Structure 1
Amino acid sequence: MNLACALDTYKKISIIGMSKNTGKTVVLNELINICNLNKKIVSLTSIGVDGEGKDIVYKTRKPKIYAYEGTLIATAEETLKSFTAKYEILDILPFSTSLGRIVIVRIIRDGFVLIAGPDSNKEIKDVSDMMLNIGAEVVLVDGALNRKTQGSPSITDACILSTGASLSRDMNITIKKTKHVVDMLSLKCVDELIKSRLGDFELNNVILIGEDVIDTGIKTSLGREDEILDKVDEYTKYIFIPGSLTSSFLNKLKGLKVDVIVKDGTKLFCQREDYESFIRTGNNIYVLDKINLICVTQNPVSPFGYYYDPKKFLNELKNALFPIEVFDVLYEGGGL
């Protein structure tokens, strides 16, 4: 699916990055341009700040966000001072950030914008729904450094993953890291019968599934791995983890014939080596809700003075990530 088709298919799309400087803003601007060409009303928001002319961490130059007349934007009050686009305020929301309250504005004259959206996923979802209700045809949610949770199916309908040379001078390392994240975001759903056995629970605690379904009352696996394992017996077939799944817990599970269930692929925070070792032992990790990863985009240029051959990078990413589609927005026009 190319980017234009994605905008016709989904109402809420998140753009998540492997790291900073992987080309998320370039992809966002491409999506905005497609919407403008197709006369589609687009709305924008973000987790974190996006659209600044210089990266606030690395002090490197980065592209700005250009918004067209009619665009709806949910952003913090203080960012409005940086707009060159002319706007009208439609609503002031009860969501506070370090840069002030979140406001919804409509662009009435084209120009550059700076976006700093809500701090939480729930607020992102609420704001996105509000903008759809007031006329937006598609909502684009731009992510922040190491914040992949906005790709969760509970937040957006689909997501795009951006990767690039800023991850490593070694292209092979970048590809391996990207494939690991794609694997995490593409985990299979658990069998419907098993999923139905969790239906009577609020899914806020660690739950063991065997002959019986047992709510352990434990909220997280972080730092409580041994306590959870003490409750596992020979009948336990699955462990549901409500929050983050880490390498530490996976390593403690090795040797047990127990599979793990998480809410979705954004909950995994484990190293590639630990994940692969866990799978090699015959164990599996399943999700309750599958993330709709529609494509990966690449940026072959690092702001730190080195770059990959764009054609080679594109071809090798496509081979490694198949059947996920891979685009280079600048090199091949975003798959248009």
Structure 2
Amino acid sequence: MNNGEVFVIGLMSGTSLDGVDLVYVKFDKNKYQNFDIIHSETVSYSEKWKSTLQEAINFSSDALKDLNLNYGKLLGEIICDFIDKFQIHNIDFVASHGHTVLHQPQDGITLQVGDGQIIANAIHQKVICDFRTQDVKLGGQGAPLVPIGDELLFSNYSYCLNLGGFSNISFNKEGIRIAYDICPVNIVLNFYANKLGLDYDESGKIASKGKINKELLAALNALSFYKKAPPKSLGLEWVKEIIFPLIDKLETDIPSILRTFVEHVAMQISKVIVGSNSVLITGGGVFNSFLVERMEFYAHIKITLTSSKIIDFKEALIFAFLGVLCSVGKVNCLKSVTGASKNHSAGEIFYPNRK
């Protein structure tokens, strides 16, 4: 860190498996809101890696250890390519989220693969990663972690909503930051679009032509998770155990599945943001214009989109920021959000070539 500025590469891989998001960011240490995303890129996964990460939830403990190392090597290669491509010379450290394979906080388990030591050795840089484990050990959900960034970087918005594999929301209520997962989004929509040979349903065009299955919609809206008070979080396990079997039992026509699930997502999200025109919406779901239209319909609002860099790379940006806070021992994980026993500074630091 130098001259009141810190230069960080941040990495994020989401549950929708779009790829690895990378940002090179400059932060003003005296006023964090003064940040600049200098370079950004999404590196898509090969079909082999996408398949591996999809199936990792079923791996043995030994296979997960190997995956942790091999995925760390992959991230090291991706970061090196990013540095070379943009001719980046000034780096204080790299902050990596890794990729979530297991998330069962109720059982004290959360696993993000991507070994920090492997990455540090590959890129010859300091690496900060493993931001969730400590929170789970402190009795928290280990998620969501982005709200500290919402609080300190985007406080001019009433709500910060992310539409990724899952939708999550963050807002300040009576001086306390509240945040939680609302419902699955792209992790379900993309799964059924894949069955049509597509990566995703572009702009929600297929969904818009489907028919709402009222029985399925009612069953989805009646799921017990939606009655729980926050803090609460979702994982792939829950989708596989609850959502997919329910959908497959009640509907087989994919356009109708997509149409019904879009309606479900819009209804769940609108309960939170109803009546507010001060909503920052980010994540890949923003480009599903049909979903956004249905959210506007139920929430009785008009959604104005922010810059494409923030839409696409906000999570990578905030993991870079979590690294900044961790590097100086400042709180980057809020008990009001995760349910942990205390606020704390999460993240493990690795230095290159440590024996």
State the TM-score bracket (shorter-chain normalisation). under 0.3
**Normalising to structure 2: TM-score of the pair?**
0.27
Higher helix residue share: 2
**Normalising to structure 1: TM-score of the pair?**
0.28
| Max Rg structure | 1
Higher strand residue share: 1
